[in-house]
Amino acid sequence: MTKKALIFAASLVAIIAASGPLYLPQVNPLQKAAAKPAPPAPVSVVAGVVEQHDVPIYLDGVGTVIAYNTDVVRAQIQGQITSINFTEGQTVHAGDLLAQIDPRPYQALIAQYTGNLERDRAQLINAQANLTRYTQLGEKGWATPQLVETQKAQVGQLEAALKADQALIDAANVQLSFTRLTSPIDGVVGIRQIDVGNIIGPSTTNGLVVVTQLDPISLIFTLPETVLPQIQRQQQKTSSALPVFAYSQDHTMQLGQGALALVNNEILQTTGSIQLKATFPNKSHALWPGELVNARLLVDTRHNGLTVPASVVQQGPNGAYAYVINKDGIVTNRPIKVAQTSDGEALIDSGLKAGEQVVVDGQYKLQPGTHVTVLHGAAAEEAAAQQAQQATIP
């Protein structure tokens, strides 16, 4: 190898050695940047705030509406119906004429008894006059004492006959009044059970018609026997009856507000429940006998109770929990205790504080430590709607 070749090789090695440190700093930062993952994007959620206010405590049950009074209009005498004086479904009042039974046989009987009364009254007048004359003659010795006593007995006999005649007339008048079939209560008449021209009597099975009193009206509902002590404690605290609310089966319509009238005197051992009876004013007839409704008994009011939307409450292996958002936008999984859930609102016994921010919608995308972004306005409404739609998909 020539001298020039050796010099060229030595120069090339020196250049490579000198440029090595400049090359390595440029390669290592790129390799480090490629090895470090990018932070995840924040998850969008809908949030709410833990509120504090007075919360009513309800006990929910299922009940059946029953008429306050139900009467079957029956005939107390036998006879032919000559007229029907009501329309099916009509509102009637106590004493209104519903049907007329042929009164002629009973009118004739009254006339007969009245004739007997007049006959006996005339005989009594004659007997009393004879007694007066015989008494005067006896005082003068012209009539025997036996004759006077016999006349007195005859007068007494005729006086008793008058009382018997009057009693028969009174009884016949009662029978005559039974020819008028009237409503015993205020209410609504149902389906007519017999038509004009038929014979009706005490033995007629279905009677004439059923009258039901709808205002006021009653509701019988059941609750678990475990809540009985709570109801009894509240009844002892207050002198007024506990309020009861009746709702339609789908809970979309309130049908009435009444008061608790009765806690039954025994527990149904077959079901482990207690029966309760409430009375409702029902002028609008929103409640109807036989209707199945949801009953809500107001037993107490939690003052300054903590509430959140019902969707905040999640269920896990260890029970109920909620996602709480801290000031840095990081969520934590907080165990909570729920007292009741009513009207889309959950009453919290423990686990949350007033003013804390909680996740209302979007929990399925979260885990403890997730960074979140809170949606507002239309975006929050749209996210809630999408979540509700996904919840309905089986």
Indicate whether 79 and 50 sit together in one domain. no
Q: Convert the pLDDT of each residue in 154-188 to its tens digit.
A: 999 999 999 999 999 999 999 999 999 999 999 99
CA 222 → CA 95, 197, 271, distances in Å? 36, 46, 10
Residue 195 belongs to domain spanning: 75-102+179-207
pLDDT band at 134 (very low <50, low <70, confident <90, very high): confident
Indicate whether 116 and 161 sit together in one domain. yes
Rounded-to-integer distance, Cα 210 and Cα 197, Å: 19
Indicate whether 109 and 97 sit together in one domain. no
Place of tokens 């060229």: 8
Average of per-residue pLDDT across 352-375:
90
For residue 386, pLDDT beyond 70: no
Indicate whether 94 and 194 sit together in one domain. yes
Average of per-residue pLDDT across 375-387:
64
pLDDT band at 328 (very low <50, low <70, confident <90, very high): confident
Q: In this predicted structure, what is the pLDDT of residue 14?
A: 52
2 within a domain of the structure (yes/no): no
Indicate whether 375 and 311 sit together in one domain. yes
Q: What is the CATH number of the domain that holds 200?
A: 2.40.50.100
In whole angstroms, what separates CA 389 from the centre of its chain?
31
Indicate whether 196 and 167 sit together in one domain. no
Indicate whether 312 and 344 sit together in one domain. yes
Mean predicted lDDT score pLDDT of the chain: 87
Residue whose C-alpha is closest to residue 154's, from 132, 128, 136:
128
CA 314 → CA 187, 325, 326, 364, distances in Å? 50, 15, 18, 10
- Hey, what amino acid is at 4? K
Indicate whether 134 and 93 sit together in one domain. no
Q: What is the 3-state secondary structure (H, E, C) of 355-381?
A: CCEEEEECHHHCCCCCEEEEECHHHHH
Indicate whether 94 and 193 sit together in one domain. yes
> Which residues are bridge partners to 341 per DSSP?
346
* CB-based contacts of 350, cutoff 8 Å, min separation 6: 336, 337
Q: Tokens at residue 355, please?
A: 């003013």
121 within a domain of the structure (yes/no): yes
238 within a domain of the structure (yes/no): no
* CB-based contacts of 355, cutoff 8 Å, min separation 6: 49, 50
293 within a domain of the structure (yes/no): no
Average of per-residue pLDDT across 221-232:
94
50 within a domain of the structure (yes/no): yes
SS3 (DSSP) at 205: coil
